[in-house]
Amino acid sequence: MAQIIDGRAIAREVLARTADEVAAMVAATGQAPGLAVILVGHDPASEVYVGRKVGQCRKAGIRSIEHRLPETTPEADLLALIDTLNADPAVHGILVQLPLPRAIDAGRVLDRIAPGKDVDGFHPVNVGRLSTGTGGLVPCTPLGIMMLIDTVIDDYRGLNVCVIGKSNIVGKPVSMLLLEREATVTVTHIETRDLPDIARKADIIVAAAGAPHLVRGYWVKPGAVVIDVGINRVTDPDGTTRIIGDCATHELDHARAVTPVPGGVGPMTIACLLANTVKAAKTAAIA
């Protein structure tokens, strides 16, 4: 029977450590880290995500500054707000909730955030630092994935890893983090030829393709660790909607360890966002 990697429990540990760091910073400086969250429009899923992030900030003692803007906000106004937040020393992290309205260029907006306040880790400067192993803020989901794998693997040297998905948010950055640990990484996607054969050779599979139950039991060799990043909404014949991952977890009893969906990678993303905010605040304090 495969071990279930409990992302909720590990996220609670990360949040507890973050709260301790925040308390220490407040005791030493009198100032809590500040995270500015910008939401443009009223996308229902984004509303939920922002609410969760703000709630966890409050629990950890991080000062949360919300900016909720109408759908019709001009791009120039959003960029001006980011400029103001970049210049505010009490704001240590800036998060722009995606997706943005179609009239706004998301790339231009994300590039406007100061790299030192880019707690999502999407700015080209942070991407470059990650690719060269020279520090910076790491994207939250890949950072959380590494924490999950760390609970079952101590030494990555020489291990074969199959990353399924090549996005800038998960696939590419997690592959670079794994390379830093001396793993041998193959980055694939749903168009990769002979993908099941490649996956079967892997000691670790990170599935982030956004394809429901793409990874079947026969894709996974005995003893492999499987990290399921997928969040896919499916509707059953009776009309019930549920969330499933990219992996057919019910077929993976022969794996060493797997992450569930929900309750695996998802909780780690918010926990790492808060950890990045504290990291940004500490870096700013010594700059």
169 and 110, same domain (yes or no): no
150 and 104, same domain (yes or no): no
**Does residue 204 form part of some domain?**
yes
DSSP string, 119-167: TT--SHHHHHHHHHT---PPPHHHHHHHHHHHTT-S--TT-EEEEE---
**Does residue 11 form part of some domain?**
no
> How far apart (Å, rounded) are the C-alpha atoms in residues 106 and 99?
8
User: pTM for the full model?
Assistant: 0.95
261 and 166, same domain (yes or no): yes
Average pLDDT over residues 167-175: 97
54 and 158, same domain (yes or no): no
**Does residue 3 form part of some domain?**
no
DSSP string, 39-86: EES--HHHHHHHHHHHHHHHHHTPEEEEEEE-TT--HHHHHHHHHHHH
> Which of 277, 203, 212 minimizes the C-alpha distance to 243?
212
- Whether the Cβ atoms of residue 268 and residue 7 lie closer than 8 Å to each other: yes
Determine the pLDDT at residue 49.
87
Query: How much is the mean pLDDT over the chain?
Result: 96
145 and 262, same domain (yes or no): yes
Residue 43 has pLDDT above 90, yes or no: no
User: Domain limits at 106?
Assistant: 30-114
Domain count, the chain: 2
> Which of 101, 135, 93 minimizes the C-alpha distance to 117?
93
146: domain CATH number is: 3.40.50.720
> pLDDT (tens digit, 9 = 90+) per residue, 65-80?
999 999 999 999 999 9
103 and 55, same domain (yes or no): yes
Residue 72: what are its φ and ψ, rounded to 5°? -85, 5
How far apart, in Å, are the Cα atoms of 250 and each of 161, 214, 222, 226?
A: 21, 13, 14, 12
Determine the pLDDT at residue 236.
87
**Tokens 């690719």, located at residue:** 131
Determine the pLDDT at residue 42.
87
**Does residue 147 form part of some domain?**
yes
185 and 244, same domain (yes or no): yes
> How far apart (Å, rounded) are the C-alpha atoms in residues 118 and 47?
20
159 and 96, same domain (yes or no): no
**Does residue 176 form part of some domain?**
yes
45: domain CATH number is: 3.40.50.10860
Largest pairwise CA distance in the chain: 58
**Does residue 124 form part of some domain?**
no
156 and 260, same domain (yes or no): yes
**Does residue 83 form part of some domain?**
yes
> pLDDT (tens digit, 9 = 90+) per residue, 222-262?
999 999 999 999 998 888 999 999 999 999 999 999 999 99
> How far apart (Å, rounded) are the C-alpha atoms in residues 79 and 188?
35
> pLDDT (tens digit, 9 = 90+) per residue, 78-120?
999 999 999 999 999 999 999 999 999 999 999 999 999 999 9
160 and 87, same domain (yes or no): no
Q: Annotated catalytic sites, by residue?
A: 53, 97, 120
96 and 161, same domain (yes or no): no
The DSSP code for 11 is: H
**Does residue 16 form part of some domain?**
no
Query: How many CA atoms does the CB half-sphere of 271 hold within 13 Å?
Result: 24
154 and 109, same domain (yes or no): no
Edge-to-edge strand ranges of the sheet holding 160-164: 3-4, 257-258, 225-228, 204-207, 160-164, 184-188
The DSSP code for 97 is: P
